[in-house]
Amino acid sequence: MTQNSINNIRNFSIIAHIDHGKSTLADRLLEVTGTIEKRNMQAQVLDTMDLERERGITIKSQAIKMNYAAQDGNNYELNLIDTPGHVDFTYEVSRSLAACEGALLLVDASQGIEAQTLANAYLAMAHNLTIIPIINKIDLPGAEPEMVTEELETTLGIKKEEIIFTSAKEGRGMGEVLEAIVKRIPPPKGNADDKLQALIFDSRFDAYRGVIVYVRVFNGTIKPEMNIEFMGTRKKFEVQEVGSLKIDLVPSDKLTAGEVGYIIAGVKDVKDARVGDTVADANNRAEYPLPGYKPAKPMVFCGFYPVQGEDFKVLKDAIEKLQLNDAALFYEPETSAALGFGFRCGFLGLLHLEIVQERLEREFNLDLIATAPNVIYKVNMKNGKKIYVDNPTKMPSPADYDSIEEPCMKVTIFTPAEYVGNIMEICQNKRGTFLNMEYLDPKRVMLAYELPLAEVIIEFHDLLKSATRGYASMDYEIIGYQVSDLVKLDILINSEPVDALSCIIHREKAHYIGRALAKKLKKTIPRHMFQVPIQASIGSKVVAREDISAMKKNVLQKCYGGDVSRKKKLLQKQKAGKKRMKRVGRVDVPQEAFLAVLQIEK
């Protein structure tokens, strides 16, 4: 059978916590269905970025089509749409899920339910997807499938008899999984003869072919030479090619309702084919777009500056290129009096930030100064206006506003019971409010706290991991803004304010952080020929001061004929050290100083 009817299509994704074996399961399904021959198999086919393989995580969503001959004698087209597991990429998960009718919920038989398992399972339920629960890694010595079964029953209300037990590594249970996909997940609804409605769930820029748009067709048919319109951006294009997503792009004559595939239509800019937008027939427009999703909102911000000012152009090109495939990455040029020209970038979370920074440095060979990350504040001005501030430098004067609100989140932590005390202490120090605590079983606890996002983005995850020997997992959701007693702490070096070092912090912590930051900077900044005062101030009030004493003497005493080469090298070394620093006013400041605020120990 070459022509699938809509009843023979199944669209699904896999949701799992990091390391629970999602990529291995995907690999095995591709193999069993013969989509990829075993000998051509490179581990974790769907994770195409080097970084993804190295970190063992999926960053971008991917889609792939498999053909499966089921026990009922029919051939099915199975579209697997891969989703990232990490909490930062919730947005990518939700857009993948919107293109599916079902999801495989994968849980590690020895680890049990983790924070992200739950978060993504709820997300799938919210999209009305059919969930196929799978307990994986049953081959491991520490596997406790009965206990995990119980957890699934109590936390998600999953029926015991629905659960499939697998070992993706050994290929056990794959047949059952494929049969369950066919039998339990409903076929897509929709009509190939209706007006075209296709949801863009991803897009990718290809240097030769322009933007490749990944769609799920809900109604109608899409073919080459057809005129299409992106309903949100109202841009029109002529379709050049459509096809399905195998390991490579495989052209076909059309895509019909229920199918997943790609469109190439001479689109030059990814922004024209916005993820979440609906593709319509330009000559026969659908009345309504499909329900899209909210655009990704960056939550964490920081400044990126090239160490060498002349690299600005390289940085600009690099960020532009990355953004082509990363809709969630926000950036705008910014100028710092201290650091020169750079970009203020917005990210979904800290991991996203780290990945972008690593990709910029690795793929574009850049040396970057990253300023300390911060969140976006809502400032209630005296004149009644509300403004959003994503950079401490832009915080208005206290005289002009009534209050500042900061984003808060509900953080859910899964942990072995013995670490509850440690975690509570961390949350307390991070200005957390206890919400509730629940025993999943006698040994495992779910803790919920409300915490300011600003506190979570700075070393919270590291603290959590080290306080629980790596056993705890966390998930978070933004619950909105709350008024908080925040102040802007400025740093003055040699009496000049250094904008890149300003930070917004809670008033109660301001003095402590001011003192610690001044001390830290004193250690980081080398001595100069003049005394360099370092001041931390809130408004015009100086809350801490440290002085870097002037260098009084730096002279090579003994220097004769035999010393010339050696002393020259010594001077060159001293000079080279200075060159790697940023000059702020008359003071040379090393790179690490700009991250000093992150290194203040409690």
Partner 1 sequence: MNPLSLYIHIPFCKQKCNYCDFASYAGKENLIEEYINTVINEIKHLRPTALSTVYIGGGTPSLIAPKYYEKIFKLLSIAPGAELSLEANPGTINQSYLKELKNIGVNRLSLGAQSFNDKHLEILGRIHNAKDIFKSFDDAQAAGFENINLDLIFALPNQTHNDWKEDLKQALSLKPQHLSIYNLQVEEGTKFYNIGDKLPRPTEDEEVAMFEYAIDTLKTAGFHHYEISNFAQPGFECKHNVVYWENGNYLGVGASASSHINGNRFDNPKTIEEYIKLTQLQNKVDLLGHKNQPDQKETIFMGLRLLDGLSKEKFKGYEKEVKELIDDGLLEQKDKIKLTHRGLLLANEVFKLFI
Report the interface residues with partner 1, using CB under 8 A. 529, 551-562, 564-565, 567-568, 571-572, 574-575, 578
Whole-angstrom distance between the N-terminal and C-terminal Cα of the chain? 66
**Closest distance of CB 548 from partner 1, Å:** 13
**Closest distance of CB 527 from partner 1, Å:** 10
Nearer to partner 1, 207 or 555 (CB): 555
CA dist 530 → 273, 494, 501, 576 (Å): 56, 9, 21, 20
**Closest distance of CB 568 from partner 1, Å:** 6
Nearer to partner 1, 41 or 564 (CB): 564
Q: How far is CA 324 from the centre of its chain?
A: 15
88: its two tokens: 């930062």
To the nearest 10 degrees (0 to 180), the angle between helices 460-467 and 420-429 is 160
Nearer to partner 1, 208 or 560 (CB): 560
**Is 55 strand, coil or helix?**
helix
Q: What residues pair up with 167 in beta bridges, in sequence order?
A: 172
Nearer to partner 1, 159 or 575 (CB): 575
Nearer to partner 1, 386 or 566 (CB): 566
**Closest distance of CB 589 from partner 1, Å:** 17
Nearer to partner 1, 157 or 562 (CB): 562
Q: How far is CA 368 from the centre of its chain?
A: 20
Nearer to partner 1, 459 or 588 (CB): 588
Reported in sequence order, the residue ranges of 314-471 that DSSP labels E, i.e. its strands, are 330-336, 340-347, 368-370, 377-381, 386-389, 401-416, 433-441, 444-452
**Closest distance of CB 211 from partner 1, Å:** 50
**Closest distance of CB 556 from partner 1, Å:** 6
Amino acid 410 reads K
Q: Position of tokens 């936390």?
A: 155
Nearer to partner 1, 383 or 565 (CB): 565
**Closest distance of CB 581 from partner 1, Å:** 13
Q: What residues pair up with 331 in beta bridges, in sequence order?
A: 345
**Closest distance of CB 561 from partner 1, Å:** 4
**Closest distance of CB 573 from partner 1, Å:** 10
Triad 225, 226, 229: Cα angle to 5°: 130
Round to whole Å and give the CA distance between 289 and 231.
7
Nearer to partner 1, 126 or 559 (CB): 559
Nearest CA to 308 out of 586, 590, 581, 595 is that of: 581
Round to whole Å and give the CA distance between 173 and 300.
41
592: its two tokens: 């690490």
Nearer to partner 1, 69 or 570 (CB): 570
| C-alpha R_g of the chain | 28
Q: Does residue 259 contact residue 5 with C-beta atoms inside 8 Å?
A: no
Amino acid 160 reads K
**Closest distance of CB 562 from partner 1, Å:** 4
Round to whole Å and give the CA distance between 170 and 174.
10
For residue 248, how many other CB atoms are within 10 A of its CB? 6
**Closest distance of CB 534 from partner 1, Å:** 20
Burial profile 62-93: b = 16 or more Cβ within 10 angstroms, e = fewer: bbbbbebebeeeeebbbbbbbbbbbbbbbbbb
